[in-house]
Amino acid sequence: MYILIAFLAGCGLPLQAAANARLGRAVGNPFAAATIQLVIAAALLLLAAIAAGQLAALQGVVHATWWQLLAGLASAAYVVAGIVLFPRLGAVATVGLFIAGQACASLVLDGFGLFGIPERPPGLPTWLGAAAVVLGIALIVGAGGGAQVRTPGRAGWMVLAAGCGALLPVQGALNVSFVGVVGAPLAVALTSFVVAALGMGAVCLGMRGVGARGRPHAQGLGKMPWWGWSGGLVGACYVTGVFTAMPRIGAAATIGFTIAGQQLVSLLIDRYGLLGLPGGPVPRARLAGAIALLGGVLSIKLA
């Protein structure tokens, strides 16, 4: 069941990215769009916590450490990184580096048993699986097509992309430890998204303070498709699903199955032109990369 939860959480990430991009075009500012989606996620989790009778558990927040409370900033940082890095590295390379960071961080979390994750020292099958995941990512990035984006300080931007990808499994692990303090998963998820929304709101204010272009507006909201509002719901499901699955199947397996779900749905979107995006044949190298990635994930899980 927890494998399925992790897989479905990953399946939603391409939808979240498409929804954020669509809302960003509608309001004329990607940072404002991300803030709106995070607020929607927080509102939905508030309703869920009330319905489940977990709202009172928020009283336990006072017993949490500061780093547990700041876990939600990883969501804001991940979104900002995508907005900043896509034009500098290209979309395919950026996503590939995000995935590489997720995979490496999850192996470290498992290997050292950090933040309440059960310790699972990697054996030979795990290392072989990790190598297959790296090979799959390399094939996917190499099959991205188009001219490579060149920018000054490219190596530094690449390191930043991998580091921001690593934040997602760390966020999941921090939330696992937070649940141990509060005892209510929905209350933890709600706190995480409130922090994320506040962090993204601060980014928006900061961008206005430096005179950045793209003042938010509401002119395009009337033409928004229904799925353009789904980013907040998908994000809430992803974060809650990840920290629910991690203690049961481990960080590496959880992140591996989310990556597998993400790649599968991305392939379907690219092949059939879903969510208003162009479709077409999937390069064989990318398909081979997705197969290698999935094989690596299964090897890690079976280790």
CA distances from 162 to 17, 34, 94, 184, 237 (A): 18, 21, 8, 31, 23
pLDDT score, position 150: 59
pLDDT score, position 146: 46
Of 105, 38, 154, 123, the closest CA to residue 259 belongs to 105
List for the chain the helix, strand, coil content (%; round to 5).
80, 0, 20
Planar angle of CA 192, 85, 200, nearest 5 degrees: 30
- From first CA to last CA, the distance across the chain in angstroms is 18
Q: How far apart are CA 138 and CA 151, in angstroms?
A: 20
Cβ atoms 240, 187 nearer than 8 A: no
Four-CA torsion 38, 39, 40, 41, nearest 10 degrees = 50
Coil, strand or helix: which one is 197? Answer: helix
Q: Which helix (H) or strand (E) holds 153?
A: none
Q: How far apart are CA 43 and CA 20, in angstroms?
A: 17
Per-residue pLDDT of the chain (303 residues; tens, 9 = 90+): 888 998 888 888 778 777 877 888 888 888 888 898 899 999 999 999 999 999 999 888 888 888 888 888 988 888 788 777 777 776 667 777 787 788 888 888 888 888 777 787 777 777 888 788 778 777 776 665 544 455 667 778 888 888 888 998 898 889 888 988 888 899 999 999 999 999 988 888 877 655 555 677 777 787 888 888 888 888 889 888 888 888 888 887 888 888 888 878 877 877 777 776 666 777 787 778 778 877 877 777 666
